[in-house]
Structure formats: structure tokens, C-alpha cells
């Protein structure tokens, strides 16, 4: 039987005390798209690293095209026709697409000859898989979606028959993701095998032929996609029943907490990032901002959090314009003091200091809080007590307040940020991409907490590129396109089609 491109049998791998993979077996059919799904830390990436030769398995065997192999490094993997597209791209920004693709496979001493051959080959690949990448463009000037295609081209150029993609849509807009899926389907038609690592159920349902579900280092299910549904997969992944629906009762919102008038932001090159925004967020409601990423949502959050000064407009908070307030401290500190909490979109770059222990991250932004200092010095006990509260209330794992935050999984990192911002008992919560890179079990938890806050009468402004999330949580939905609000929809009446049109810039 050689119907399988890859067969893994009994793979185990241990890092110190952590059993990353335990007796993992799976068969990946030739010419199929095979999903590997699991929560963060379920062992997906480790398994693929073993297949790509970064790690050696402690035990178990790998067969490629029916032949048992040992893959000692990535060169051997490439020789066996295995290619990998990393989550973080391995590209040289200042090189052209062509230069990046031949990098490491220049084919001869003189660059010119190899380049000409590479160009011909590349154009051929471009046509075969409708990748639409300009070989002479500088990689640094390409968008994320195109850079990813360069990575795919790189693997194909090296003769990959099996392509591993590690969380490929984490960095893409929905449109870019759709385009990527078209490319993957084209690859399948040409007989290539695709392994898709993800934790998004929708992707698995949309595109894969078969799926392996991993949990805690083991495979808990190898199924044909046609035989399962989202709920079944989610249950397998988490190991218990999860509800993807958010239960929330109708509620009449109170007075406006935040009112934005004519808010504009122009960058140094004169590009309008925010263009005359008017909207309000009332007590006891969640206002969702939908939109393709890069249409001003990030800038809006930063302006409202006081990290960036707007060019013009008013930010009225409880009726008073915040921009008129004079203060010797930075605006971000002032706003926070007034009860505006902010869970930033990019939690690992802004919301946390990864090298600090959890108990220091638990006070980031609130370090001037009088209750945690005594005679100018932090009370270590007060910090630890507060952190232990967070750990208990938000079920943060592992429950060690001294642990460096960088060692936590994405979901637990997000819980630290959320716990900290909610602890301040804010009147207004700004929250960006609350569940980006967060596993399913934690998503459910975070969504429930947000609804609880809303029911407690807080005003919440939610920015997310996940339409499902916006639809599930929001009471009202604003759609942003090109720095403007292109429409407003009540959540009850909203659906993906109408929102999609608004996201494309069609005004109401």
C-alpha cells in the first residue's frame, strides 16, 4: 500500500518533564488536505518539527511514500519532498521574491545562470497554482498574504510534494485566508499533499479531507471531515462539551459612557487612518467593530487608550472631552486612572512583558496603585496575593504566580491581561482580538466573562477580525472600512453577507 504520503507510527517525544508527543500515529493520504487540530500546547508543532527534522523522536517510525525513513535535519526532509511554511516567515525583507526563493538553492557558482532558470521555473509555478506573485517585487514591500505565498513558492521550488502549513491563517484577513484556501485546493488538484496545522474549526470544516485531533500530546481522533461537525471536533479537542454559542439575554443599555465625535488621525505621510468617526458606547452594551484588519480598528483602539494622539475630534467620556484634560503623566496612564481599561490587540508586544513573572505582569499599567506599595517599595505579598486571585478567578495554568509569562500558552497569557484589566473595575473596556491565538476552551471562558461584564453595566468596545466572534458577542455592530464607519447594524439583524459587503466599503 503506497496510498499514503506520510505515515507516522507510535511517535513519542519528551522535553524534560513535558511529554510533548505520546504514541502518535496518523496516516496522511496522498493528494489530500489533512488537518491537524488541537489546542495550543497539544503537541501539533512538535509533531511537525519531528517530521521536518528539527527534532528527533524518542521512539516511533516515519514512512514517506511507504518507505521507512529517518529524518535527521531539514535538508533531509526537503530531499524527501517535505516542505514547510512557518508561522513566522523566514524571508529576507530586502531581497526580491526571486532572490528569496533561490536563497540556499542558488544552483551554481554564478548567480545569473541559476537566476534565469529559477525565474522560468517560478513563473511556471505561479501559473500552475495561480499564486500571482511578482518575482521582482521586494519582499519587505509585500503584504503578509503575499509573503506567505512566497514561502509556499519557496517550498514548491525545492520540489515539495508534501507541504506543511503551521497556523497559516493566524496572520491573514478573511479574504486573504480564502485566497490561500483556493491555492491549497489547486495544490491538491495537482496531486500535492497538504498538512494544515490549525486550531480554527471553521478552516478544518471548509477545506480538509481528513483531520487528526490532538489533545495533550496524543491523537484523540483520526476522522474524515465529512463524517464530523464543528461541535464534535470541539468536543474532541477539549475533551468535554463546549458551547460555541454565547448565551446572553436582551438588555437595555444605559447612558453613553463613551462618545466619539469627528475623530480623525492622519499619519506623517498624510494618510487618513481615521476619518471623522462618530459613535457612542453605552453602559451595559457591547459594541463590536468589524472590518478587514488594517482599516483603522487598531488605530482607533490606540487613540481611545491614549497611546496615540488623534489629529482632531473629541473623545467624550462620561460627557467630558478627554482630549481637553491637562496632565503631567502620559495619556495612557490618565485614561486608565479614569476607568478606561484596555486589552490590546497585540498582547505579546504591548499587553505583557514576556520576560517578567506573572505577578509583575499583573500590575502592568496599574503599578502606581497605592494598595500594592508600602513606603515606595512594592509589597511582594500584595502582588502575589493579587496574582493568586487572578489565577483562581480566571483558572490560569500553571497556577504559579512566579512563572515568567512568556512560558504560558496564548490563552493563559490572554487571561492574565484580561484579569488585570477587569480587576481595575473599569467603566469602559477596550478590547482588541480577545481570542486571537487562544484555544477553544479559553475562548468560551473569555466570551462568558465579557458578557458578565456587560451585564454588570460596563461599556465594552470590541474589535475583532473574527466575524463569528463579533456576531456572537455584540449588541450593536459598527463596520469600519478605509478609516471610516461604513455602517451600523443591530446584532439581531446582522449576518455575514451584509457585514461582508460593508467591510468591502459599500456604504449603507
In 344-444, which ranges are E strands? 373-374, 377-378, 428-432
Rg (CA), the chain: 25
Which residue among 110, 226, 249, 377 contacts another protein (CB under 8 A)?
A: 377
Q: Which is nearer to another protein, 4 or 359 (CB)?
A: 359
| Inter-helix orientation angle 174-189/144-157, to 10° | 20
Q: Which residues contact 29 (CB under 8 A, 6 or more apart)?
A: 3, 4, 5, 193, 209, 210
Residues from 10 through 69 that contact another protein (CB under 8 A):
16, 40-41, 45-46, 49, 54
CB of 112 to another protein, least distance (A): 34
**Proportion of the chain in helix, strand, coil states, percent, rounded to 5:** 35, 25, 35
Nearer to another protein, 270 or 376 (CB): 376
Q: Does 237 help bind another protein (rule: CB under 8 A)?
A: no
Residue 140: alpha-carbon gap to chain centroid: 21
Long-range contacts of residues 244-247, Cβ cutoff 8 Å, at least 24 apart = 244/444, 244/472, 245/472, 246/447, 246/448, 246/451, 246/472, 246/473, 247/451
Contact call for residue 432 and another protein (CB under 8 A): no
Task: Give the range of 61-69, 218-226, 242-250, 331-339 binding another protein by CB under 8 A.
Answer: 331-339
Nearest to 439 by CA among 304, 250, 238, 302: 238
- When asked if residue 261 is in the footprint of another protein (CB under 8 A), the reply is no
Binders of another protein: how many residues, by CB under 8 A? 41
Q: Which residues of 351-378 are buried (b: 16+ CB within 10 A; e: fewer)?
A: bbeeeebbbbbbbbbbeeeeebeeeeee
Bridge-partner residues for 103, per DSSP?
none
Q: How far is the CB of 381 from another protein (least distance, A)?
A: 12
The cell for 234 is 470541539
Q: What DSSP line would sit under 478-503, residue for residue?
A: EEEETTEEEEEEEGGG--HHHHHHHH
Tell me how far CA of residue 185 lies from CA of 190, 275, 459, in angstroms.
Answer: 9, 39, 43
Tell me: does residue 330 bind another protein (CB under 8 A): yes
* Binds another protein (CB under 8 A): choice among 305, 315, 431, 472: 305
Binding window for another protein (CB under 8 A); candidates: 96-104, 257-265, 339-347, 478-486: 339-347
336 near another protein, judged by CB under 8 A: yes
Identify residues 86-105 at the interface with another protein (CB under 8 A). 86
Indicate whether 414 belongs to the interface with another protein (CB under 8 A).
no
Other beta carbons within 10 Å of 110 = 9
Which window, 97-105, 106-114, 286-294, 336-344, contacts another protein (CB under 8 A)?
A: 336-344
Among residues 53 and 81, whose Cβ is nearest to another protein? 53
- From candidates 378, 424, 449, 505, binder to another protein by CB under 8 A: 378
Q: Any contact of residue 364 with another protein (CB under 8 A)?
A: yes
CB closer to another protein out of 373 and 498: 373
Residue with smaller CB distance to another protein, 170 or 307: 307
Nearer to another protein, 115 or 363 (CB): 363
Instruction: Return the number of other C-beta atoms located less than 10 Å from residue 190's C-beta.
Output: 12
C-beta closer to another protein: residue 48 or 471: 48
Task: Report if residue 384 touches another protein, rule: CB under 8 A.
Answer: no
Residue ranges binding another protein (CB under 8 A): 16, 40-41, 45-46, 49, 54, 86, 305-307, 329-336, 342, 344, 346, 349-356, 360, 363-365, 367-368, 373, 376-378, 380
Amino acid at each position: 500500500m503506497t496510498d499514503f504520503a506520510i505515515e507516522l507510527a507510535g511517535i513519542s517525544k519528551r522535553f524534560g518533564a513535558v511529554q510533548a508527543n505520546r504514541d502518535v500515529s496518523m496516516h496522511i493520504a496522498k493528494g489530500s488536505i489533512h488537518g491537524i487540530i488541537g489546542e495550543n500546547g497539544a503537541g501539533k508543532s512538535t509533531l511537525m518539527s519531528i517530521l521536518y527534522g528539527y527534532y528527533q523522536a524518542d521512539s516511533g517510525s516515519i514512512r514517506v511514500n511507504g518507505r521507512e525513513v529517518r529524518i535527521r535535519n531539514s535538508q533531509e526532509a526537503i530531499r524527501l519532498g517535505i516542505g514547510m511554511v512557518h508561522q513566522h516567515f523566514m524571508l529576507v525583507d530586502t531581497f526580491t521574491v526571486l532572490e528569496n526563493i533561490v536563497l540556499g538553492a542558488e544552483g551554481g557558482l554564478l548567480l545569473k545562470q541559476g537566476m534565469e532558470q529559477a525565474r522560468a521555473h517560478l513563473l511556471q509555478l505561479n501559473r500552475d497554482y495561480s499564486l500571482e506573485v511578482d518575482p521582482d517585487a521586494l519582499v519587505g514591500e509585500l503584504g503578509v498574504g503575499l509573503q506567505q505565498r512566497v514561502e509556499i513558492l519557496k517550498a514548491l521550488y525545492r520540489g515539495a510534494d508534501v507541504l506543511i502549513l503551521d497556523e497559516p491563517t493566524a496572520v491573514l484577513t478573511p479574504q486573504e485566508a480564502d485566497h490561500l484556501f483556493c491555492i491549497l485546493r489547486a495544490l491538491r488538484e495537482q496531486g500535492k499533499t497538504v498538512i494544515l496545522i490549525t486550531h480554527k474549526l471553521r478552516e478544518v470544516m471548509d477545506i480538509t479531507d481528513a483531520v487528526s485531533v490532538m489533545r495533550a500530546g496524543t491523537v484523540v481522533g483520526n476522522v474524515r471531515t465529512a463524517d464530523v461537525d464543528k461541535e464534535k471536533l470541539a468536543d474532541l479537542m477539549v475533551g468535554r462539551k463546549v458551547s460555541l454559542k454565547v448565551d446572553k439575554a436582551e438588555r437595555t443599555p444605559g447612558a453613553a459612557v463613551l462618545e466619539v465625535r469627528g475623530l480623525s488621525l492622519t499619519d506623517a505621510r498624510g494618510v487618513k487612518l481615521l476619518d471623522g468617526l462618530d459613535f457612542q458606547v453605552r453602559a451595559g452594551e457591547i459594541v463590536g467593530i468589524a472590518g478587514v484588519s488594517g482599516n483603522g480598528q487598531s488605530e482607533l483602539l490606540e487613540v481611545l487608550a491614549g497611546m496615540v494622539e488623534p489629529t482632531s475630534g473629541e473623545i467624550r467620556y462620561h460627557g467630558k472631552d478627554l482630549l481637553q484634560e491637562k496632565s503631567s503623566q502620559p495619556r495612557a496612564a490618565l485614561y486608565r486612572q479614569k476607568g478606561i481599561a484596555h486589552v490590546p490587540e497585540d498582547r505579546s508586544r504591548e499587553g505583557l512583558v514576556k520576560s517578567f513573572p506573572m505577578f509583575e505582569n499583573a500590575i502592568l499599567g496599574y503599578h502606581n496603585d497605592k494598595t500594592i506599595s508600602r513606603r515606595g517599595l512594592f509589597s511582594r505579598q500584595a502582588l502575589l496575593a493579587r496574582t493568586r486571585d487572578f489565577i483562581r478567578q480566571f483558572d490560569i495554568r500553571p497556577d504559579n504566580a512566579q512563572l515568567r509569562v512568556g512560558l504560558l500558552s496564548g490563552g493563559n497569557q490572554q487571561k492574565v491581561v484580561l484579569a488585570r484589566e477587569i480587576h481595575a473595575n473599569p467603566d469602559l473596556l477596550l478590547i482588541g482580538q480577545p481570542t486571537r491565538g487562544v484555544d477553544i476552551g479559553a475562548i468560551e471562558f473569555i466570551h462568558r466573562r465579557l458578557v458578565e461584564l456587560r451585564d454588570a453595566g460596563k461599556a465594552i468596545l470590541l474589535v475583532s477580525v473574527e466575524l463569528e466572534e463579533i456576531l456572537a458577542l455584540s449588541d450593536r455592530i459598527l463596520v469600519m472600512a478605509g478609516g471610516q464607519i461604513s455602517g451600523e447594524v443591530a446584532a439581531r439583524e446582522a449576518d455575514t453577507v451584509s457585514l461582508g459587503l460593508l467591510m468591502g466599503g459599500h456604504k449603507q
